[in-house]
Amino acid sequence: MGGYGDVQMIDENGIRVDGRGPGDLRPVSIETGVIPVADGSARVIWGTNHAVAAVYGPMECHPRKIQRQDRAVLDVRYNMAPFSTTDRMRPGFNRRSREISKVTADALESVVLLEMYPRCKVRVEIEILCAEAGTRCVGLTAASVALAHAGIPMTDMVVSVASGKINDVVVCDLNKEEDNYGEADLPMGILPNSGELVFLQMDGDLSQAEFQQAWDYNMEAAMVVHQIMVDALKGGDA
Amino acid sequence: MGGYGDVQMIDENGIRVDGRGPGDLRPVSIETGVIPVADGSARVIWGTNHAVAAVYGPMECHPRKIQRQDRAVLDVRYNMAPFSTTDRMRPGFNRRSREISKVTADALESVVLLEMYPRCKVRVEIEILCAEAGTRCVGLTAASVALAHAGIPMTDMVVSVASGKINDVVVCDLNKEEDNYGEADLPMGILPNSGELVFLQMDGDLSQAEFQQAWDYNMEAAMVVHQIMVDALKGGDA
Amino acid sequence: MGGYGDVQMIDENGIRVDGRGPGDLRPVSIETGVIPVADGSARVIWGTNHAVAAVYGPMECHPRKIQRQDRAVLDVRYNMAPFSTTDRMRPGFNRRSREISKVTADALESVVLLEMYPRCKVRVEIEILCAEAGTRCVGLTAASVALAHAGIPMTDMVVSVASGKINDVVVCDLNKEEDNYGEADLPMGILPNSGELVFLQMDGDLSQAEFQQAWDYNMEAAMVVHQIMVDALKGGDA
Amino acid sequence: MAIPIVPQLLRAHLAELAENDERHDGRARWESRNTELEIGVLRNAEGSAKVRIGDTIVYAGVKFQIMTPYPDRPNQGGLMCSAEIRPVAGPNWEPGPPSPESIELGRVVDRGIRESGCIDVDNLCIIPGEKAWQVILDLFAISDDGNLFDAFALAGIAALKSAMLPEVKFEMSDSDRPLPVSKTPIMCSYHKVGGRFVYDADGREELGGDERIHITLGDDDHVHSLQKGLKGIFTENEFSEIMEHAQSRCKELREMVHNAEEAD
Amino acid sequence: MAIPIVPQLLRAHLAELAENDERHDGRARWESRNTELEIGVLRNAEGSAKVRIGDTIVYAGVKFQIMTPYPDRPNQGGLMCSAEIRPVAGPNWEPGPPSPESIELGRVVDRGIRESGCIDVDNLCIIPGEKAWQVILDLFAISDDGNLFDAFALAGIAALKSAMLPEVKFEMSDSDRPLPVSKTPIMCSYHKVGGRFVYDADGREELGGDERIHITLGDDDHVHSLQKGLKGIFTENEFSEIMEHAQSRCKELREMVHNAEEAD
Amino acid sequence: MAIPIVPQLLRAHLAELAENDERHDGRARWESRNTELEIGVLRNAEGSAKVRIGDTIVYAGVKFQIMTPYPDRPNQGGLMCSAEIRPVAGPNWEPGPPSPESIELGRVVDRGIRESGCIDVDNLCIIPGEKAWQVILDLFAISDDGNLFDAFALAGIAALKSAMLPEVKFEMSDSDRPLPVSKTPIMCSYHKVGGRFVYDADGREELGGDERIHITLGDDDHVHSLQKGLKGIFTENEFSEIMEHAQSRCKELREMVHNAEEAD
């Protein structure tokens, strides 16, 4: 977190620069079937974030050496397009995208019934086309919808949201400025049916009480986003 | 193409800086057997270009995964030696040499009878020791002679020449200065027996009429170079 | 060798800056068992050099393609930790460490009875934690002790020492300043029981007579270090 | 009608169709798939376009950087064009460093735009010898059902023509101004399928076809770039036929770019 | 007692022990292995520490470089934290570029230290806009028997707290001065083994366990960094239990760092 | 006489020949193959040489760049020596990053030249602290039938001795001047084949042999560089015998370099 205490991002009435209250989400919209050649796909517009996710498989797993006798391998990649950021991002895997790919895979593996497809591979590709804070959450949410759209069986979908702290106030779903200048960021991956977690990170500085507030905001927001995911899947392809 | 219209490279009588007329080739000489450890090899001196090509194979194809059941694999590499250019060239494959390797392989695969050697590999190695414009043509021509020298069966040899445009005049076989400051470059790979093409690129600006003139120059020059190739192969090794 | 003739490193009585005479070694101490998870390990403190070596194996050899039917493969790596040098060393294999790994492997392969473990691999890992001249010798010596500690059979241990020349005087076991500003460096890998060699390099400028003197110093020093190695192996783990 | 996806069978199937001058999706030999162009679709890019040709979907985004001009060309800015086909775009695209195919794609599209001279690099100078604009055009495929070349080229020129030099962000002016783009080079690509060339091959035709030829033509039918790809032999007559079609089709696509510009 | 090393059998074995609330080495669920900390152990590093937790042994070394501050932050120096687990550290660590595991390790440890704000980067400025100190913390494992995360984090903060800015070497002063480090962030890591979380898992427990959670707490129980790793689901209650243990254990380890400092 | 190329059989065959003090191509133990040296063969290099030893053919080219001297050595230019053995040179050389063998080759040749002091780097300074010449010697094999070490070393020193500092191109003077090279270091390489060392091993002897020793001697028999390569044990007596031969052979090769220079 940048931690520039002197940028004022929330006023005395608890109204944030983009007009939201502390516990409000940005607008979220979801479409399925946006990548015609994929087995499943989704687009998530979240604030001004724009992510697409494609699912390929279950397919034959090669190289053979990564094949598993008892279950499918889940191959997840998160990537930012070069034009997705204010300053151009050089193409190619970097440490950040590698790590986000890994935690996203860890989250999804916790819910996908991989044992149903021994010796297979399921590829999940997340591409951020426009990035405005919280892309790992947006990407994980998009991947979850794309898996459902591809008909891959899961125990539950994963909904991912990040709350944080700005000007010493805990707020829900940080936007870009809040992410740059805020004091803490707590992204979580939540199973909406049980309230359990499959993904958790946090950076910055939160007292134990603030931490609890951010946690609660994420839980509430997850239920809202979950409904949008369900509606998109019911609504049929774009 | 550089496109510096203000460098005068051809006079009012159609005489170029190196004394050639618009349709003239630079001097070309070819030797075979210049790499004793190779199965076939050739050296082409073309103007002050200096290229050598070696052919190894047909040999066992490894790694296995690139092996083909019904034909041989043709593995072609084009490379510039670090001392081949005015400013030293850093060793290692770059995008340009990768692309030239690919178009050279595409051209040669069109004529080599690869079906005669199932599960084998034929390696073609092109090294530019001195570069003075048109090295992709010189290299492809050298590779073609080296394949013949190695006794690899082909439907025809490939002859490659590039014509272009300087000071609004279409000319044959650009030299280095003409390549740097000219307005267009049209390299072609021609089968001398049928006049058919296996390689074609073009950069710059040519009207439809100029394009036809450059095409015709290439066709004529290819016949001249073809005779030198045939003579070299008949003449025995260096 | 730096070859700065004007840095005075030895006085008229043959006393070096660190108090040693021309033929004297720096203090050497050796411990075994310093890496609990390894099959064999050693730490060598030599002057202010600090090296650790670990041996893993004999173990199954993979990737399969490097497996040998008639003997074990010896996989040796020499590496300097980023904090081992005055200016931080960027992590990752460089040409110097690659070459030292190779000559170290060549030396050890000459004595390890690899035929006793067909199709296996033995890994030898050398890490320099603090570097103060002569690290290839210190590392090779540490590796030799770690192999013995792991119970890998050898025809003899390898002892490695470097002598050289400073201010036109031949001296034994160069320290860091002497290595930086000296005129020659002759590292050798010696089998203490036969006086034969398995490792030899040299850089700088030595007349034939100076060369013989440096050679003789190395032979004498090797016997001293060998005794310390034997004592460490007898003494039991740290 | 079931279409075989094993390449060997697919080749035979496509050859059979070709004998009757048919294509597997019912198109005529020189007919293109439905082609759509949208501009201004990427908020963080200074210029952008999305192109859909059948089930092929690509984006192009333009970004700007400040560069120091090369010492021998103190008045010139630069143009960089980079194509990425990431594994999102289809079952057969692999992660890892750019494949020879995607390198060729980027270079062929780059050349068509660069060689047309549509971007006047002398126009990009800010302070001679010190500062100039570098234009970076990134081409990005999200769904590959064939003919990425033409999709990239179309999205590329449209994105450039919609791009604004970010003079406000770089504190050089109070308002951004459009990037000057003087021409509209257009690429048309042809694949040999079942022994004869067709226009706008889809994924199946690429898989079961032979060589391809890419032609970039400028506003006045001038040739700016050619590229033959893959193994295969072609005659002068075949080439003339293609060139003739390209001259008429390029005009139509150029119109589409101009219409999108005006609608913007 | 023989312990199976085939992961499948090992999982079963650990699960069986868990049913009786036992661990394979006899420890209680929240009990750590013997933990030792030494500082000032690496002569060529400007600050250093060695940590041993059971059979896990790591070093941390601090080096300094002079950097040019970023234009938008002319008064700030930098902190870089890099973790290497080379093949010396165990039979399963491979040579080559950093694995996803070691990248995650470095980033998680880095974040805990960075986000605590213990290094005031404004304090590292030498000449505003021109020169500043860059602190480089290198974490280096030589023996991995599990829980490298906590070992690295402990060695890292201890090495930083022992580091001297090399002002003599860089000809800026007649004597070196300590690097100012204002806080002591401590990481505690928990692994799910046999269905319940345990503290300080060793190599076998990592091999036969599921997800792990890393918590970095500051001087005042403030949370600075969290990370859940690996496949696995956990409940809010499980997390609360871990957080409670972390609050007490971090205090003990912080004490250990302070004692080592004083003894130095 | 058919010569087996399976290494195991080849070893046996070479050992048998060695018992009668014979070599597979009829040479005596200390006899070299036919050795030819040409200089000035590469038009775009500022200095160049081609060496042929039997069927081994290599080129060396010298290029110059302007460098900024290192702060601690403001009066010094630099020498960089790089060896490439590309797959053109033989059936067993693979494409890709430099192999350990080719890295060793480059470093051993580099050292022999560098350590002899034949290039006085103080002589390469143009403006102290600002500009100096960097000499780049590129060694390039096109046909490898063994003993690339000696071929590279011979071509390298000959190329350097023929090199002209390109003062015209860099606009520093009206005419180029020769690079000052004060000594002529020469390398001789020995391989253990069939149990005894031989001089100038060819490709087969390298394949069926054991360790090798490389010796670089200067004008006055001074030793400048040594390297033992590959697995193998040797005695002090063996080494003395080699050193004695190297002293006489280096003189002959040095003569060859001087003759080529004069003929130039």
Q: Is a pLDDT exceeding 50 seen at residue D96?
A: yes
Show the domain range for A49: 28-235
Cα distance between residue D163 and residue D179, in whole Å: 6
Chains B vs E: touching, with 3+ CB pairs under 8 Å?
no
CA–CA distance, C74 with C106 (Å, rounded to integer): 9
Q: Alpha-carbon distance A61 to F209, whole Å? A: 44
In angstroms, the separation between the Cα of residue A115 and the nearest Cα of chain D is 22
Closest Cα of chain C to F99: distance in Å? Answer: 10
Contact A77 D95 (CB under 8 A): yes
Nearest CB to B84: which of F44, F55, F65? F44
pLDDT number for residue F8: 85
Mean pLDDT, all residues of chain E: 94
Do F216 and F187 form a contact (C-beta atoms < 8 A)? yes
Average pLDDT over residues B88-96: 87
**Widest CA span of chain C, in angstroms?**
60
Read off the pTM: 0.88
pLDDT of amino acid A47: 97
Query: Is E145 strand, coil or helix?
Result: coil
C-alpha neighbours within 13 Å on the C-beta side of residue F195: 10
Question: Each residue of C144-158: pLDDT tens digit?
Answer: 999 999 999 999 999
- pLDDT level of residue F5 (50, 70, 90 thresholds): low
pLDDT at F252 over 90: yes
Task: Tell me which chains share at least 3 CB pairs under 8 Å with chain E.
Answer: A, C
- F256 pLDDT higher than 80: yes
- For chain C, the chains sharing at least 3 beta-carbon pairs closer than 8 angstroms are E, F
- Per-residue DSSP letters for B76-133? EEEEE-TTSSSSPPPSS--HHHHHHHHHHHHHHHTTB-GGGSTTEEEEEEEEEEE--S
Express each pLDDT in B206-217 by its tens digit.
Answer: 999 999 999 999
Is position E2 within any domain? no
Give residue-wise pLDDT tens across range C95-153. 889 889 999 999 999 999 999 999 999 999 999 999 999 999 999 999 999 999 999 99
**Taking CB atoms and an 8 Å cutoff, what residues of chain E touch C52?**
88, 142
- Quick check: is E1 in a domain? no
Closest A-chain CA to E110? A203
In this structure, is residue D77 part of a structural domain? yes
Q: How many domains does chain E have?
A: 1
- The reply to whether A106 falls in a domain is yes
**Considering the domain boundaries, does residue B21 fall inside one?**
no
Element (H, E) at E217: strand E212-217
CB-count exposure of residue E97 (10 Å: 0-12, 13-18, 19+): exposed
Rg from Cα positions in chain B = 18
Residue F101 pLDDT = 82
Confidence of residue F2 (pLDDT cuts 50, 70, 90): low
Q: What is the pLDDT of residue D5?
A: 64
Within-domain flag for A19: no
What is the ipTM metric for this complex?
Answer: 0.86
Domain presence at residue A12: no
Subunit contact D62:A83, Cβ cutoff 8 A: yes
B201:D226 CB<8 A: yes
Q: What average pLDDT score do residues F122-151 get?
A: 95
The position carrying tokens 């059936």 is F91
The answer to whether A95 contacts E103, with C-beta atoms less than 8 Å apart, is yes
Query: Taking CB atoms and an 8 Å cutoff, what residues of chain C touch E43?
Result: 48, 50, 130, 132
Three-class DSSP category at D51: strand
Whole-angstrom Cα distance, residue F132 to residue A6? 49
pLDDT of residue E5: 64
Parallel/antiparallel/unpaired status of strands A28-32 and A49-60? unpaired
Does A130 contact D82 at a Cβ distance shorter than 8 Å? no
| Nearest chain E Cα distance for residue C89, angstroms | 10
In this structure, chain D runs to a length of 264
Q: Which residue in F103, F115, F243 is closest to C98 by CB distance? A: F103
CA-nearest residue to A59 within chain D is D91
Instruction: Let me know if residue D3 belongs to a domain.
Output: no
Question: Which residues 97-156 of B have a C-beta within 8 angstroms of D?
Answer: 98-99, 101-103, 106, 109-111
Query: Are F221 and C211 within 8 A, CB to CB?
Result: no
Q: Of F69, F81, F68, F60, which is closest to residue F136 (Cα–Cα)?
A: F81
Q: Cβ contact (<8 Å) for E115 and A103?
A: no
- Bridge partners (DSSP) of residue B201 are D227
Residues 30-49 of C with CB under 8 A from E: 35-38, 48
pLDDT of residue D4: 64
Nearest chain A alpha carbon to E109: A203
**Is the predicted pLDDT of residue E102 greater than 90, yes or no?**
no
Which chain F residues touch C110 with a CB distance below 8 Å?
211, 231-233
Residues of B in contact with F40 (CB under 8 A): none
CATH code: domain of residue A166? 3.30.230.70
Q: Is residue E3 part of a domain?
A: no
Residue D8 binned pLDDT confidence (cut-offs 50, 70, 90): confident
Examine residue A117 and state whether it is found in any structural domain, yes or no: yes
Q: How many domains, in total, are found in chain A?
A: 1
Contact yes or no for A88 and D63 at CB 8 A: yes
Reported as a single tens digit per residue, the pLDDT across D188-204 is 999 999 999 999 999 99
Flag whether pLDDT at C169 surpasses 90: yes
Which one has a higher pLDDT value, D86 or F96?
D86
List Cα–Cα distances, B17 to B9, B85, F44, in angstroms: 6, 21, 20
Rg (alpha carbons) of chain F, rounded to whole number: 19
Q: What is the pLDDT of residue F1?
A: 43
Residues D7-33: what's their mean pLDDT? Answer: 94
Spell out which chain D residues touch chain A, with contact meaning CB-CB distance below 8 angstroms.
Answer: 42-45, 48, 55, 57, 59, 61-63, 65, 82, 84, 86-91, 95, 97, 136, 138, 140, 142-145, 203
Compute the average pLDDT of residues D56-83: 94
Whether residue A101 is contained in a domain is answered as yes
Residues of C in contact with F232 (CB under 8 A): 106, 110, 198
Averaged pLDDT for residues F203-227: 95
Q: What is the CATH number of the domain that holds D189?
A: 3.30.230.70
Mean pLDDT of D54-80: 94
CA distances from D131 to B83, D65, D73, F36 (A): 32, 10, 12, 53
CB contact (8 A) between residue E138 and residue C129: no
* Helix residue spans in chain C (DSSP H): 95-109, 135-149, 176-181, 208-235
For chain D, percent of residues with pLDDT exceeding 70: 98
pLDDT for the residue A137: 98
Closest CA to A192 of A221, A213, A170: A221
Partners of residue D221 in chain B, C-beta under 8 Å:
207-208
CB E25 within 8 A of CB E202: yes
Averaged pLDDT, B98-104? 92
State the residue for tokens 């411990």: C31
> Which A residues 155-194 touch D at CB under 8 Å?
none
Burial environment of residue C98 by CB neighbours within 10 A (0 to 12, 13 to 18, 19 or more)? middle
Say what the pLDDT of residue E24 is.
95
* CA–CA separation, A184 and A178 (whole Å): 9
Q: Is C199 helix (H, G, I), strand (E, B) or coil?
A: strand
- Range(s) of the domain holding residue E162: 8-263
pLDDT at C63: 82
**Candidate from A93-102, C26-35, E175-184, E189-198 with smallest mean pLDDT:** A93-102
Q: Which amino acid is at B91?
A: P
Query: Rounded CA gap, A208 and A199, in Å?
Result: 19
pLDDT for residue D1: 43
Using H for helix, E for strand and C for coil, what is the string for chain A? CCCCCCCCCECCCCCECCCCCCCCCCCEEEEECCCCCCCEEEEEEECCEEEEEEEEEEEECCCHHHCCCCCCEEEEEEEECCCCCCCCCCCCCCHHHHHHHHHHHHHHHCCECHHHCCCEEEEEEEEEEECCCCHHHHHHHHHHHHHHHCCCCECCCCEEEEEEEECCEEEECCCHHHHHHCCEEEEEEECCCCCCEEEEEEEEEECHHHHHHHHHHHHHHHHHHHHHHHHHHHHCCC
Residue C91, pLDDT score: 87
Kindly give the parts of chain A with pLDDT less than 50.
3
Question: In whole numbers, what is the pLDDT of chain A averaged over residues?
Answer: 94
